[in-house]
Structure 1
Amino acid sequence: MSTDRATRPTGPGAGEPAAPPEEVPGGRRRIEGRSPWALAWQRLRRDRVAMVSLAVIVLVVLLAVFAPVVAALTGHGPDQQFRQDGLSPDGLPVGPNGTFWFGTDDLGRDILVRIAYGARISLLVGVVATALTVVIGVVVGLVAGFVGGFVDTLLARLVDIVLSMPFLLVAIALVSITGAGLGVTIVVIGSFSWASVARIVRGQVISLREREFVEAARSLGAGDVRIMFVDVLPNVLAPVIVYTSLLIPIVILTEASLSFLGLGLPPPTPDWGGMIDEATTYYTTSWWFVFFPGLALLVTTLAFNLFGDGVRDAFDPRGDRGATVVGGAS
């Protein structure tokens, strides 16, 4: 009876036969361990909300990648104006129909095609600006937390200055000087979003720099740069990945907000924020003009947020999210 209880599987998949443990010398049985990354991936796969959100993200990515295919299937270009079929006799946008599935805008352009091309802009800015943010924040946080002393104080004050700057006012000033564009948008967002990442990484590195594995690396003659990027950095990647997954939707919303304020890409480039801005004067007569671009923005950011929550829970199933919450609140 005791042997049956010892070998009976429990937990998820309890109905499946368990593989017999491998025997080792001395009559003991070897227990196969799994890395924290494997455990996190296993928890993430069991999170249905996160998996559904990931499926939505994949669909949005496919829509962006195959935007030319959508244009070819409909026969409408992203900037092509249909003055005869795409506008009513009163010059108003045409509602959803068999020719224009999502209706048209104020210039007679196909909203579906423009949403597909707009997904390219939102995802590109979201991924590239987030990558720039994370790289700057990780480097600053590593140096500040590991070196300490005057360098830590100087970089910490720099982080405080960046966090205290009014982002929109600085963005308006920079765009008015340099002009609107994709590169300017990415640089502006990345230049003012890295401080929260740096603060998270700095706190993690301070708690790790006196650990035994760091002292062992020093005793073997490793330099500070190697210790920071080879020994310490892998141990802070988990909170960085969690924060990155939650930062992407914030960046997408920021880019849409800048475009809505006229600080994004210049027309006629399809952009979700710009499309919503163009529809503000037509929402009472042409609901589809503002509804579908707004829905695309809502669904995309919500999917990224829910997936980010799933990643956070996968890495920290007990709910100890202090660093993540601090970073998000910053």
Structure 2
Amino acid sequence: MTAALELVDVTAEPAAIQGRSPLALALRRLRRDKIAMISLAVIILIVLMAVFAPVFAAITGHPPNEQYRDIGLTPEGLPRGPNGTFWFGTDDLGRDILVRIAYGARVSLLVGVFATAITVVVGVVLGLAAGFLGGITDTILTRLIDVVLSVPFLLVAIALVSITGPSLSVTVLVIGFFSWASVARIVRGQVLSLREREFVEAARSLGASDGRIMFVDVLPNVLAPVIVYTTLLVPVVIVTQATLSFLGLGLPPPTADWGGMINSSQNYYTTAWWFILFPGLALLITTLAFNLFGDGVRDAFDPRADRS
């Protein structure tokens, strides 16, 4: 017993215990989610396809808007199926579907990113103001949120596009304007439960302004639900953009666009299955990957998921 005690170095300092931040714990849970990681890999591949769309055009030798009516259409004027020249077949004008899908990914991701960014920024700022300031500010902003949520989106989008004409900027602004209200409502609900907390009262007692308290003290505590909602909002925006294009309210032709490609393929689904299949699969895989990744992010940021 005495010999065992002599082996213990009583002067040795105990090992430092390192704590993990909530963000580190969330990232650790996210890395363990295999479905979320696979979905993230798919999203990265889609992003790479969009970035290197000119490479697809160079490899195949087919620009996205070039019409190959001699080799891209049958003698009957129908699209040609997948072959060694056109890997995904051609559309009704003899254009390469693979190259157009790659360029269409650019449109979907650009609209998804920029419209979501506008939505989140506007929603967070107005949600913070409504929940923290309260009073007449909260009443006005809450009524504004209710009005925006009650407006029929497609009808207003059709009216705006008929006035201004279809373009990428109009699509982004329309989607962003009609999507921020949901984010603002979520943020407002979170802020209402935080504004009476002790750290807010401590900041007030130290003379901090309302703006500093909102953006320095309160905002970091609502970022988790905002991040989760953002990841789930991107696929909604992509589908909305494809819907507008399908209805003829998206980008004007001949711009490659998944929704527009699906719209053009309606009359050929019985004779040219590849025309509707490949753009539809691109849209389905993209939205599914973002949704599954968003579910993983939601589970990772949910404190109840940590059982340790």
TM-score bin (small chain): over 0.9
Distance 1:314 1:24, change over 3 A: farther
Distance of 1:134 and 1:24 partners within structure 2: 55
Q: Select 2:199's aligned residue among 213, 227, 234.
A: 213
Letter in 2 for 1:243: Y
Structure 2 counterpart of 1:281, one-letter code: N
| Partners of 1:252 and 1:301 within 8 A in 2 | yes
Higher mean alpha-carbon deviation, 204-213 vs 139-148, is at: 204-213
Q: Measure how far apart 1:287 and its partner are.
A: 0.2
The C-alpha deviation readout for 1:230-268, integer Å capped at 9, x for no partner, is 111011000000000000000000000000000000000
- The answer to whether the 8 Å contact 1:121/1:271 transfers is yes
Shift of 1:318: 2.4
1:239 aligned partner:
225
CA distance in 2, matches of 1:24, 1:105: 79
Alignment counterpart, residue 150 of structure 1, candidates 125, 136, 139: 136
Give unmatched runs, 5+ long, in structure 1. 1-22, 321-330
Q: Do the aligned partners of residues 166 and 55 (structure 1) sit closer, same or farther apart at CA in structure 2, a change above 3 Å counting?
A: same
SS where residue 267 of structure 2 aligns?
coil
Partner of 2:208: 222
Once residues 28 and 284 of structure 1 are traced to their aligned partners in structure 2, the CA distance between those partners, rounded to angstroms, is 74
**Counterpart in 2 of 1:41?**
27
Kept after mapping to 2: 8 A contact 1:24/1:30: no
Pick closer, same or farther for the CA change 1:276–1:44 going to 2, 3 Å.
same
User: Post-superposition shift, 1:212?
Assistant: 1.2
The residue that corresponds to 1:316 in the other structure is 302
Aligned pair count?
Answer: 298
Residue 30 of structure 1, CA deviation: 3.9
Q: Superposition RMSD on alpha carbons, in Å?
A: 1.6
- Residue identity over aligned pairs, in percent, reads 77
- What is the CA distance between 1:219 and its match in structure 2? 1.6
Distance (Å, rounded) in 2 between the aligned partners of 1:263 and 1:132 = 20
Change (3 A) 1:290 1:25: farther
In structure 2, what is the Cα distance between the partners aligned to 1:257 and 1:131?
Answer: 20
- In structure 2, the CA distance between the partners of 1:215 and 1:112, relative to structure 1 (3 Å rule), is same
Q: Paired residue for 1:161, among 147, 166, 171? A: 147
Q: Cα distance 1:157–1:26, how it changes in 2: closer, same or farther (>3 A)?
A: farther
The residue type paired with residue 66 of structure 2 is: Q
Give distance in 1, aligned partners of 2:112 and 2:292: 16
Which letter does structure 2 place at the counterpart of 1:199?
A: R
Alignment correspondent of 1:98 = 84
Q: Which position in structure 1 is the counterpart of 2:123?
A: 137
3-state SS in 2 of match to 1:318: helix
Q: What aligned pairs does 1:1-330 form with structure 2 within 5 A after superposition?
A: 30-316=16-302, 318=304
